[in-house]
Structures are given as structure tokens and as C-alpha cells.
Amino acid sequence: MAISFQNALGIHEKALNVRVQRAEILANNLVNADTPGFKSRDLDFKAVLGAESERQSQLDMAATHGAHIGAAGSGPNGELLYRNPTQPSIDGNTVDSQIEIAQYLQNSMDYQASFQFLNSKFKGLTAAIKGE
């Protein structure tokens, strides 16, 4: 009997991926804090993760030919949204560095939490294999 990592690891692997993607988006906002006309962006974590876990529970159609088109639901999901500006500046930039850095750090902590969960899943598997 093979171990299904998909089932064993659960949502935490997906959550970790979404956290990394969100970190990238927030880093990009921070870097463009002085770019005129740049609009601050973010992910709706809950929606993205919800879509991810929903996809996990569905069966994907196999694409055995290059011309095959993916079925609805298997395509990209998780909209990249625009943040509502709290203090829009005159040059059209909507990045608020303080908010972004707070979100970035919080995201990093959440990443560590997801990591902790994932790690303990692996530890559980290892303990089961060793039978200690």
C-alpha cells in the first residue's frame, strides 16, 4: 500500500504555496512604493485556498494530447485584486508602505505556522513508518 501524500498532507501544502505567492505579490507592492501610477495588489487568501481545496476534491481530466483543453474548474483561479487605497497619492500610486510591510510580516508568520503544521504531518508519517 502506497502512502498518498496528497491525502496525508492535506491543505497545508497548498496553504504554504499560496503564502509564498502572496509574499511575492506583497514584496512587489513594497518595491513599487515610489512608482507613479502603480496600484497596490493583493490576493484574497481565503478565496484562493478555497478554490485550491475544491480543486483537490475534484477529479481532473487527463490531457493526453497537446490540443486538449482543460475542463472548466481546472484552469487558473484566484483573482489578483487591487487594494482599496487609504491614502492615495497625487501621482496615482496606491501603495501604503506601512500596511504592506505589516501584511508582509503577518504573511511570513502565517507561512511559518503553515510550515509547522506541514512539518508535524511529516513527523507523524516518519513516526508511523518507524513504528516507535
Closest CA to 88 of 77, 80, 96, 98: 96
Q: Check binding of 31 to other proteins (CB under 8 A).
A: yes
Residue 112 interacting with other proteins (CB under 8 A): yes
Residue of 32, 88, 99, 117 that binds other proteins (CB under 8 A):
32
The correct pick among 3, 5, 8, 27 for binding other proteins (CB under 8 A) is 27
The least distance separating other proteins from the CB of residue 15, rounded to whole angstroms, comes to: 13
74 vs 87: CA distance, rounded Å = 38
User: From the CB of residue 107, how many other CB atoms can be counted at a distance below 10 Å?
Assistant: 22
Verify binding: residue 15, other proteins, rule CB under 8 A: no
Binding of residue 78 to other proteins (CB under 8 A): yes
Cα–Cα distance measured from residue 114 to residue 102, given in angstroms and rounded to the nearest whole number: 18
